Chain A
Amino acid sequence: MRRFKYSLMNIVIILSVVTSLCSALYEDQIGKFDWRKKFVGTIKFGYFDAQNADKSIVATDENVLAAISSKNGDILWRKVFETDNTRGEIKFLHVTREGKSIASQSGDQSPFDIITVNGNNPFFFRGYNMNNGNLLWEWSITATSQDPENSLFFFKEYSMYHVLPIWNSHIEVTEYHASTGQQSNPTTSSIFAAYITKDNCVLNGQYFACIVKEQLLVIDLIADQNNLRTKAIESPNSSIKVIRGKDNVIQVGKSVLNLEDLTVIYENKNDVELYIESDKIIRVVQNEKDVKILTENAELSSIEDLPETLDNNLKIMATKCKPKRDDTNQIACRFLLSTNDGAIALVQQGKIKWVREESLTKISAVEFIELSLSDAQGAIEEELNSGDEEHSNSDILSSLYRRLHSQYGMIKNIVLHLLGLGPPPSFSQRAGLVRDDFGLHKMMVIMTKSGKLFGIDNVSGKQHWVRVLKNSEGFSNGQGIRLLVQRTSKFYPLPTQCVIIAREKITGNGIIFQFNPLSGQTIDKGLLNLDYKIKQAALLNYGDNFLRPILLVDTNDNVHILPESSLKQADGFFFYTVNRQTGFLNGYMIQHENNKVDLLPTWNLNLGGTENEQKITHVVSKNSVERVHSQGRVLADRSVLYKYINPNLIAVVTEGPDSIHKYMLNVHLIDVVSGSIVFSMNHRRAKGPVRIVHSENWLVYSFYNEKIRRNEITSIELYEGKTQTNSTIWSSLNAPPSPLVERQTYIISSSIAALRETITEKGITNKHVLMALDSGAVVEMPWMLLDPRRNSMVPTEYEGIIPYIPELVIQHENTINYNQTIAKISGIYTAASGLESTCLVMVYGLDIFVTRVSPSKTFDLLKEDFDYFLISIVLIGLITASYVVKHLAAKKTIKQAWK
C-alpha cells in the first residue's frame, strides 16, 4: 500500500513538473516575442554571379558558404560547415566566371558552378549549384605527405589541382577530375624546387611565384616543359602578394606583374588596394572622408562622405562591370567590398546600396539597457525627486505648489500638442525608445571583437546606432573587450552611461570609451587613450552623480580611478587577478591613505598543480545584479536548510593532462575576498569543453567524460545548514563556516554549446537553466531537474524532489526557439525585464536570436486572449442586478410591513 502511494506520489510530481513546463508557443505567436537575424561572417572569398551579378557568392571565416542578394543584401541560401577548422575551414572557392555551369561545358551529368575545398587533411571537395545552393557532388582526399596543412588549390578546365609545397624541397601537384575526384594521372607530379620558402611564395591560378634573392621565379604547374621562368627584381626584400580578380596577376614590391609573360603592367606607387577586372586595374584611393574607386584613366565610383560606421579600410572582394548604354567608352560597375571591421557593403554608382554588419558574428560583450523615461513620466519623477531632496524644509504648501505646477505643465503640453505647437520630439521619442509599462523594451548594447559597437532594439531588431572604435581589441589572457554600465537609467534626468574598456592594437595600452548607450553619443571626451597597460578593471560603487567610478590597475600595480575625485571610494576594495597559463590567482586590497591609493597583496593561490599542468579555462562569478528571494529551503521535517549565499564566491575550472587518468578536470569554489578555497572537486578522465553557470547558491557545468565517451552535467548546491550565521550582513573576512555541499552528476545526451541561468528582477520566479545544444536548439531546463538533492538518500515525497534518474532527458517541447535554429551558438545573455515573471534572452553565435521566457509562466500578466468584454459585461450585469434586486427587496419589505 505504501509503495503504491509512493509511486503515485512520484507520478503526480513528475506529471505536475512536466505539465507546468510546457511553455510552448501557439502557432499565431511565432515571431511575436522573438526575432532571429542570420549572418554569414567576415568575408574570405567573394564572387559575383557571372550572368547578371544579382547575387554574390561568399565564403567566410565562420566556415559559411552563402549567396547574398545584390538588391538588398539578404541571404538567399547559406551552408554552414563544421565549426572545427580541421573539417570546416574553407580553403578554396571557385565560382564560374563565364556564366555557364561547368558541367554543361564538359558534358557531365550534373551542372555545377561553385567548388569549395574544406578542412585540413582530409580535404573535402564539394560542388554546388549557384541558384539553390544544392550540393551536387562531394569527394575527399587525404594527403600522406608531410605538412598537408600547407596545401593550396586551383581549378583549371574541369580539373582540380592540389598543390602541396614542401618548403625548401619540392612541390607536389596532383590533378583530379573535378566532379568525380578521379586522378587524371595515376601519379603525383613532383617539381623539384629547393628554393621555396613559406613567406616568399604565393600561388595564383596555375602559377607558383617565389622571390629568391634578387629574382622572381615563376613555375607553371601545368606546363610539361619549360615551366620555370625568372625575372630580376629590384630588391630581395620585396613583399609578394596576389591581386584579386584574375588568376595571373601578382604584386611584387610595388610593381604589378602579369605572370603569363612576366610584364609589369602597373606601378603601384602609393601601395593602394588593387583589383583586376577584365584586364583593367582598379584602384581604391582612400581619403579621410571619401573613397574613390578608379581605373587608370577614369573614375568608376566615388563614395562621398563614407558613413562613420564603416572602417575606411575597404577591400574589393568582387566586381562586375558592363559598358554603359549611353557612353561607349565608360563602364558601370558593381563592387562587393569588405572592411576591416567585418562589414560587407555593395557599392553601385557611387552609392552604398546596403551594408551587412557581419562583425555581429563575433560578440564580445552584451548589455541590455533599460530605456529612459518619456517626458511625461519624467515630469512626475522630477516632482517626486525634488520632494526628496528638500525633505527637511518641504511643507504642504510648497509640495502643493509643485504638484499644481507640474500639472499645469502637463495640461499645457497636451494643449500645445493638440494645436501642433508642442516642442519637437526628442531622439528617443522619435525612435520609439521610451520605457514601456512592463520594461520589456530595452536597448541591446553589443560590443564585437572587431571593435564595433551596436545599439540594437530588442523588440524590433533595428540597429539604432553603430560606432567604430578604431584600433581596439580584446585583452590577452582570453579576456575580450569589456562593456560596463556606469549609470543605469534609474537616475532620471541624468543620462545612462556605459564604458568600453579595451586595448590599443599597436601599443597595447588601455582605451576607455564612455558613451550614452541609448543614443550612442559620446560622453565627455569620448575615446580616451591611456598611457598605461591595463591589468585589471572594475567599477566601484555609486559615487557622485550616481556614477560608478572606473577602477583601473595597470601592469606596474598603480591604481587609477576615473574620475579622480572618487579616489577615496576605492578604500577597502578587494579584487583579484588570474593567470590562465600558470594557474596563479592573486588577491589584492586597495588602501587609501594620505590622498594616495596603493595595492596590498592579500592572498594568492596556485591552481596549476605541481608541474603547472592544469590550465585555468573558466573563471565564473555570479551575475552582479542577481537577487536571491528565498534564503532557504524547507525540508521534509519542516525545518529550513539555509542557502550559502556568498556574493564573493567564484568558480574556477582547470583542465590538464594527467599521468594516470589521462585527463583531469578540477573545479574550485573560491572566496575572492578572503582567498579561501571553499570547496574543490576533481573529475578524472574528464575534459572540456566546459560550459558553466554560477548563480545563487549553485553551480552547474557540463563536460565530456572521456572514459565512457559521453557528455555529463554536474550540479553543486551549497547550504549553510539549519542555522544562518548572519542573516543581515555577509562578510567573507568574518570567517563564515564552510558550507554543506550537495552534488550530483547526470548524463546528458547532447553536447552543450552554452549555458545560462534565467534572471528576474526580484528573484521570486523559479530559476531555469537555458541550455544551447550543438544542434542549434535552446532548451529551458528547470532547476528542479538539475537539483543535486535528487538522490536516493533524501526522502522525496514531501520536499517535492523528483526521484533520481541518471539521465537528464532533454524535453524538446521546452525548446524556446521552436524551429528557428541558431547556427553555431557561442553564448546566451539574459536580463531581467520589468515584469517579475519574464526574463529577456539573447542567444548569439552565427545568428542572433532574441526572445523572452517566463520560467514560472506569466503569473503577473493576463493572457493575451483574455476576454475583457465578457468580464465587463458580467460585472456590469451583476452590479445592475444587485441594485435592481435591492430595490425589489426594499419594496417587498415595505409591502410586508403594510400587511
Chain B
Amino acid sequence: MSSIKFIWSLMASVFVLISSISSQSAFDSHLNVQLYHSLDANDVTGFTSRGNITIISINLGDIVVNQKELNSKERDVLKRLAKDKKLYRLKAEVVGSDGVKTTFLSSLKACHLIQSALHDFITINFDHNNAVLGVNIKAVSLDETSDDCDNLGLDNFNEFSTVVNLKNIEAAPIPDTQGFIQKLEREKEMRDKGEIDNRSFIQKYWMYIVPAVILLLVSGVTNTEGQGAAR
C-alpha cells in the first residue's frame, strides 16, 4: 500500500443518530461535507483531507461516510500531536443543496482521539431551515479520560470510526392553556358528579372526631384528678 495511493474505504462502523425527528423543517435537502484535519502543530493553516460525509436526506438521516486510512507518517504526526498535548482540529466544508459552501472548524484534544482509538462523534447542528449551524467533533468518551498520552500506541488503528449525529433545532414549548382548561373542566366534572359523598358525617370525619374525643376524655380525667386533689 503506497502512501501516494488514496484508499477510500467505506467505513464498516457507521452509525447515524438523529436526535430529534425533524418535524420542523418542512422541506428536505441534501448536504455534502468534506472533512479535512490538521495534524501538524507547526503548520496552523495546513489541512489535509480526511474524507467526506454525504447526507442524502437530512430528514430521514440517510448518510454515507467515506474516510481515508491514516498512513504511518500521519499516525506518527498524530501521536506527536497527542504527546505535545495539542489539539486535533477538523475542518468541515459543507456544501448545501443550494451550492453555497460554508466552512466549519472544530477541535478536540489529540490525546483523547488516540485514547478512543480513532472512534469519534461528529455532530452536525441544523436550524429551522435546515441550514447548518455547526459541525462538532468529539471523541467517544471512554470510562476514564486522562491526559496521559505518552504510552499510547496507535499501530493497530488506522481508520476513523465515525458516528454522525444530525441534531435539529427543537421547537420551543408553548403555554399549555388548552391542557390547563381541560384539567380544570375535568376537575369540575369530577366534583359535580362523582364526589357526592353519601357517607354519614361520622364516617367522613372520624379521623378528626376521634382525636378530639380522646383529647376531651384525657383532659376530663386530669380535671377530675385535680378536683380530687383539691378536695
Residues of A within 8 A of B (CB): 3, 589, 598, 600-607, 609-610, 614, 658, 660, 664, 666-668, 674-677, 679-684, 686, 712, 714, 733-735, 737, 743-747, 791-792, 804-807
Query: Cβ of B89: which chain A residues have Cβ within 8 Å of it?
Result: 600, 602
In addition to A606-B102, A682-B128, 20 A-B residue pairs with Cβ atoms within 8 Å of each other are: A600-B87, A602-B107, A609-B127, A609-B131, A666-B169, A668-B133, A675-B105, A675-B106, A676-B134, A677-B167, A679-B170, A680-B167, A712-B174, A714-B172, A714-B173, A734-B141, A735-B121, A745-B172, A747-B175, A792-B179
Query: Cβ of A746: which chain B residues have Cβ within 8 Å of it?
Result: 175
Given contacts A610-B131, A681-B169, contact A745 B138 (CB under 8 A): no
CA distance A35 to B7 in the complex (A): 75
Q: Could you tell me if B127 and A614 are in contact, using CB atoms closer than 8 angstroms? A: yes
Is B171 at the interface (CB under 8 A from chain A)?
yes
Query: Cβ of B141: which chain A residues have Cβ within 8 Å of it?
Result: 734-735, 737
Q: Could you tell me if A3 and B190 are in contact, using CB atoms closer than 8 angstroms? A: yes
Given contacts A744-B173, A805-B180, contact A603 B107 (CB under 8 A): yes
Report A623 CB to chain B, min CB distance, Å.
25
Q: Could you tell me if A677 and B174 are in contact, using CB atoms closer than 8 angstroms? A: no
Q: Could you tell me if A606 and B138 are in contact, using CB atoms closer than 8 angstroms? A: no
Residue from B44, B104, B167 in contact with A606 in the complex, judged by beta carbons closer than 8 Å: B104
CA distance A675 to B129 in the complex (A): 21
CA distance A501 to B112 in the complex (A): 38
Residue from B102, B106, B180 in contact with A603 in the complex, judged by beta carbons closer than 8 Å: B106
Is B222 at the interface (CB under 8 A from chain A)?
no
CB interface residues, B 14-51, toward A, < 8 Å = 24, 26, 44
Q: Could you tell me if B106 and A606 are in contact, using CB atoms closer than 8 angstroms? A: no
Main secondary structure of the interface of A (DSSP, over half): strand
Query: Cβ of B65: which chain A residues have Cβ within 8 Å of it?
Result: none
Q: Could you tell me if B44 and A600 are in contact, using CB atoms closer than 8 angstroms? A: yes
Q: Which of A605, A679, A804: most chain B Cβ within 10 A?
A: A605
Report A619 CB to chain B, min CB distance, Å.
15
Query: Cβ of B173: which chain A residues have Cβ within 8 Å of it?
Result: 714, 743-745
Query: Cβ of A603: which chain B residues have Cβ within 8 Å of it?
Result: 104-107, 134, 136
Q: Which of B129, B132, B172, B179: most chain A Cβ within 10 A?
A: B172
Query: Cβ of B123: which chain A residues have Cβ within 8 Å of it?
Result: 676-677
CA distance A674 to B128 in the complex (A): 23
Query: Cβ of B26: which chain A residues have Cβ within 8 Å of it?
Result: 660
27 pairs of residues in contact across A and B, judged by CB atoms under 8 Å: A600-B87, A601-B105, A602-B89, A602-B105, A603-B134, A605-B104, A606-B132, A610-B100, A610-B131, A660-B26, A666-B169, A667-B172, A674-B106, A674-B138, A675-B136, A677-B123, A677-B133, A677-B134, A677-B136, A677-B167, A681-B172, A682-B172, A686-B172, A733-B112, A734-B145, A745-B172, A806-B175
Report A643 CB to chain B, min CB distance, Å.
20
B102 to A, closest residue via Cβ: A606
Report B132 CB to chain A, min CB distance, Å.
7
Q: Could you tell me if A735 and B108 are in contact, using CB atoms closer than 8 angstroms? A: yes
Contact flags B82-114 to A (C-beta < 8 A → 1, else 0)? 000001010000001010101111111100100
Report A9 CB to chain B, min CB distance, Å.
15
Report B118 CB to chain A, min CB distance, Å.
14
Given contacts A602-B107, A681-B169, A806-B175, contact A666 B180 (CB under 8 A): no
Residue from A606, A610, A747 in contact with B134 in the complex, judged by beta carbons closer than 8 Å: A606
Report A659 CB to chain B, min CB distance, Å.
9
Query: Cβ of A684: which chain B residues have Cβ within 8 Å of it?
Result: 128, 171
Given contacts A600-B87, A682-B169, contact A734 B112 (CB under 8 A): yes
Query: Cβ of B140: which chain A residues have Cβ within 8 Å of it?
Result: 735
Residues of B within 8 A of A (CB): 24, 26, 44, 87, 89, 96, 98, 100, 102-109, 112, 121, 123, 125, 127-129, 131-134, 136, 138-141, 145, 167, 169-177, 179-180, 183, 190, 195
CA distance A673 to B158 in the complex (A): 28
CA distance A664 to B145 in the complex (A): 40
Query: Cβ of B145: which chain A residues have Cβ within 8 Å of it?
Result: 734-735
Q: Could you tell me if A733 and B108 are in contact, using CB atoms closer than 8 angstroms? A: yes
CA distance A589 to B102 in the complex (A): 22
CA distance A805 to B180 in the complex (A): 7
B127 to A, closest residue via Cβ: A609
Please name the 5 residue pairs, one residue from A and one from B, whose CB atoms are nearest each other, closest first: A605-B134, A806-B175, A610-B131, A735-B138, A676-B136
Given contacts A602-B107, A675-B136, A681-B169, contact A666 B176 (CB under 8 A): no
Query: Cβ of A735: which chain B residues have Cβ within 8 Å of it?
Result: 108, 112, 121, 138-141, 145
Report A571 CB to chain B, min CB distance, Å.
11
A681 to B, closest residue via Cβ: B172
CA distance A606 to B105 in the complex (A): 11
Query: Cβ of B108: which chain A residues have Cβ within 8 Å of it?
Result: 674, 733, 735
Report A843 CB to chain B, min CB distance, Å.
28
A602 to B, closest residue via Cβ: B107
Q: Could you tell me if B109 and A682 are in contact, using CB atoms closer than 8 angstroms? A: no
Residue from B96, B174, B179 in contact with A610 in the complex, judged by beta carbons closer than 8 Å: B96
Query: Cβ of B179: which chain A residues have Cβ within 8 Å of it?
Result: 792
Query: Cβ of B134: which chain A residues have Cβ within 8 Å of it?
Result: 603-606, 675-677
Q: Could you tell me if B177 and A806 are in contact, using CB atoms closer than 8 angstroms? A: yes
CA distance A610 to B128 in the complex (A): 10
Report B210 CB to chain A, min CB distance, Å.
16
Given contacts A677-B136, A682-B127, contact A792 B183 (CB under 8 A): yes
B165 to A, closest residue via Cβ: A738
Query: Cβ of B104: which chain A residues have Cβ within 8 Å of it?
Result: 603-606
Q: Which of A714, A733, A804: most chain B Cβ within 10 A?
A: A733
Q: Could you tell me if A806 and B112 are in contact, using CB atoms closer than 8 angstroms? A: no
Q: Which of B24, B108, B179: most chain A Cβ within 10 A?
A: B108
CA distance A744 to B26 in the complex (A): 24
Report A578 CB to chain B, min CB distance, Å.
14
CA distance A59 to B125 in the complex (A): 51
Q: Could you tell me if B175 and A666 are in contact, using CB atoms closer than 8 angstroms? A: no
Report B107 CB to chain A, min CB distance, Å.
4
CA distance A660 to B177 in the complex (A): 24
Residue from A714, A743, A804 in contact with B180 in the complex, judged by beta carbons closer than 8 Å: A804
Q: Could you tell me if B129 and A733 are in contact, using CB atoms closer than 8 angstroms? A: no
CA distance A680 to B145 in the complex (A): 27
B89 to A, closest residue via Cβ: A602
Query: Cβ of A598: which chain B residues have Cβ within 8 Å of it?
Result: 44
CA distance A600 to B43 in the complex (A): 11
